[in-house]
Structure 1
Amino acid sequence: MQVETFGVIGAGQMGGGIAQVAAVNGMQVILHDISTEFVERGMAAITKNLRRSAEKGKITDSEVQGILDRITPSTDMTRMKSADFVVEAASENEEIKFKIFSRLDEVCPPHAILSSNTSSIPIGRIASRTRRPDKIIGMHFMNPVPVMKLVEVIRALSTSDETYRTTVELAEKMGKTPAVASDFPGFIANRILLPMINEAIFCLFQGVGSKESIDTVMKLGMNHPMGPLALADLIGLDTCLAILTTLHQGFGDPKYRPCPLLRQYVETGWLGRKTGRGFYQY
């Protein structure tokens, strides 16, 4: 299937990044969020990123404008009726995603593929809320989307071969490298990453080391580009907690139990970079 119009639900850091990459690669994009403020903020971030690329000589000023012209801001979900492929990039909350997919199922044309950028929620669970389970798939981008090459492609039991092939081809068209994961909580990336981050938080919680020492050990000892606590701040501590909760509930295994310190930070409103305070101050 040819994807000409690409829809994105959610104009935040992930959604905006996905919309930018799709537009850079020639697709017409509909960028939707629940308020004009959120959409304008997302468009401003995309514009800033593109202008930075122009300043570095990677693209021209005219190319910047051309890319922006391919993105249509929206607060009306019915605009997705013209989309061939939609990526949902809303909050990591099951009920929110279920409502979005139910609405997209009503609005989008029968041929449209609906995908989720969820980092942990099983795709089959989302697919069951629609009348097109064969056209539901996971398309999990990494943050920051314009830079990171990986896209996890997650097939539910009901996902058709055509949907899978179209999604893989689309990821490649967007300059990404697809990696296929089975439909288990957390998939591959976060089933490995979040327990590591959680253990780093336990080390801080139990006084094994300071945040600086913990991050330094992982950067210099394991050659990670960023320490796990700084990475948690970048991801968002609320998102980390949501993923760990999904893993814990999905597998019933105590090894996925979120550290009490993580829960305390989230309840305090210290969510990381997006609030100016997490394990570090910004």
Structure 2
Amino acid sequence: MKNIAVIGAGTMGNGIAHTFAQSGFKVHLIDISEDSLTKGIATITKNLDRLIVKEVICENQKLETLQNITTFTNLTEGVKHSDLVVEAATENSELKLKIFKQLDDVCPEKTILATNTSSISITQIAAATSRPELVIGMHFMNPVPIMKLVEIIRGYNTSDSVTKTIMDLSKTLGKVPVEVNDYPGFVANRILMPMLNEAIETLYNGVAGVSEIDTVMKLGMAHPMGPLQLADFIGLDVCLSILNVMYDGFKNPKYAPCPLLVNMVRAGKLGVKSGEGFYDYSSSRKAEQVAKQFLK
């Protein structure tokens, strides 16, 4: 397996492309937006520079990594020689189903199709193709070049050989793959998202403020990042989408998104990506002032 195609040049997509390219794979980074591709390559370059400063890599390794990446806005051209495609588009089931149907039409017959989804059914995605045995989940963690875990999710029809191939490939990337079964949220988000949602409920109910909630979890539970700060980092829209998938899948009220989260997403307060969430990333305004306007 030498040729990897990555669909989507956003945070996860460029991180996945970076990781494969730094491990010596030839990567085609594909996005419908030329601007997104330019920003994606800029992010990869910046992250490689950080690794140089930390003396993790040298300048030659940076150049080799960037040379391993070719960008495309045309899906057919980008995937036509791929051994593996990793889809990292927005966490939207309709979009992913559409992409996988297209991939099935234009990819070589033996190409493995993986999705970086953090919650959507692999079996459902695979059903949009004529090769469900070659469809699998590769849920990378953010930031991809740093985080070791990859959740490997096999759908109902995913073959043993494909699962072994992807497990072995993940180890080649320096990752620790963990195989899990195809249920809403898998393992990581089935446990994480209710915790984040409960932290938001705690704020919504006025039990404590943003910094107080995060401080309790950091100092009391040894979490490296408080739950509200982590939600901002993930993206509040992404958190809401995952919770909705889990609520629809389990029909259990414990997965119902907090009204505060819903209102913040509606208002465009998405966290780091928008400059404002539970914390203000664009000014010195206190985090509580950002959140209070949504408490009513």
Question: TM-score when scaled to structure 1?
Answer: 0.98
Q: Secondary structure at the match of 1:86?
A: strand
- Residue in structure 2 matched with residue 179 of structure 1 by the alignment: 178
CA distance in 2, matches of 1:209, 1:168: 42
**Structure 1: which amino acid aligns with 2:80?**
K
**Structure 2: which amino acid aligns with 1:7?**
A
Q: Secondary structure at the match of 2:104?
A: helix
- Residue in structure 1 matched with residue 195 of structure 2 by the alignment: 196
Structure 1 residue runs of 4+, over 6 Å off?
A: none
- Residue in structure 2 matched with residue 9 of structure 1 by the alignment: 7
CA distance in 1, matches of 2:189, 2:50: 30
Q: Which one of 59, 70, 73 corresponds to residue 72 of structure 1?
A: 70
* Worse overlay, 260-269 or 58-67: 58-67
- Quote the offset at 1:25 in angstroms: 0.5
- Residue in structure 1 matched with residue 290 of structure 2 by the alignment: none
- Residue in structure 2 matched with residue 116 of structure 1 by the alignment: 115
- Residue in structure 1 matched with residue 104 of structure 2 by the alignment: 105
**Structure 1: which amino acid aligns with 2:128?**
R
What is the aligned residue count? 280
- Quote the offset at 1:70 in angstroms: 0.3
- Residue in structure 2 matched with residue 251 of structure 1 by the alignment: 250
- Quote the offset at 1:139 in angstroms: 0.4
Correspondence 1:138 to 2:172: no
- Residue in structure 2 matched with residue 265 of structure 1 by the alignment: 264
Q: Which one of 18, 21, 26 corresponds to residue 20 of structure 1?
A: 18
- Quote the offset at 1:55 in angstroms: 2.4
- Unmatched runs of 5 consecutive residues or more in structure 1: none
Correspondence 1:34 to 2:32: yes
CA distance in 1, matches of 2:54, 2:248: 46
Q: Secondary structure at the match of 2:167?
A: helix
- Quote the offset at 1:57 in angstroms: 2.1
- Quote the offset at 1:111 in angstroms: 0.6
- Quote the offset at 1:54 in angstroms: 1.4
CA distance in 2, matches of 1:109, 1:21: 23
Q: Secondary structure at the match of 1:91?
A: coil
- Quote the offset at 1:58 in angstroms: 1.8
- Residue in structure 1 matched with residue 289 of structure 2 by the alignment: none
User: What is the RMSD of the two structures over their aligned residues, measured on CA atoms?
Assistant: 0.6
CA distance in 2, matches of 1:252, 1:171: 33
- Residue in structure 2 matched with residue 63 of structure 1 by the alignment: 61
**Structure 2: which amino acid aligns with 1:32?**
I
- Residue in structure 2 matched with residue 128 of structure 1 by the alignment: 127
- Residue in structure 2 matched with residue 47 of structure 1 by the alignment: 45
CA distance in 2, matches of 1:162, 1:81: 22
**Structure 2: which amino acid aligns with 1:201?**
I
- Residue in structure 2 matched with residue 205 of structure 1 by the alignment: 204
Q: Secondary structure at the match of 1:82?
A: coil
- Quote the offset at 1:60 in angstroms: 1.5
- Percentage identity across paired residues of the two chains: 55
Deviation per CA, 1:128-181, whole angstroms, max 9, x where unpaired? 000100000000000110110000000111000111011101110111001111
- Quote the offset at 1:63 in angstroms: 1.4
- Residue in structure 1 matched with residue 219 of structure 2 by the alignment: 220
**Structure 1: which amino acid aligns with 2:187?**
I
Q: Secondary structure at the match of 2:80?
A: helix
Q: Secondary structure at the match of 1:111?
A: coil
Question: TM-score when scaled to structure 2?
Answer: 0.94
CA distance in 2, matches of 1:53, 1:225: 21
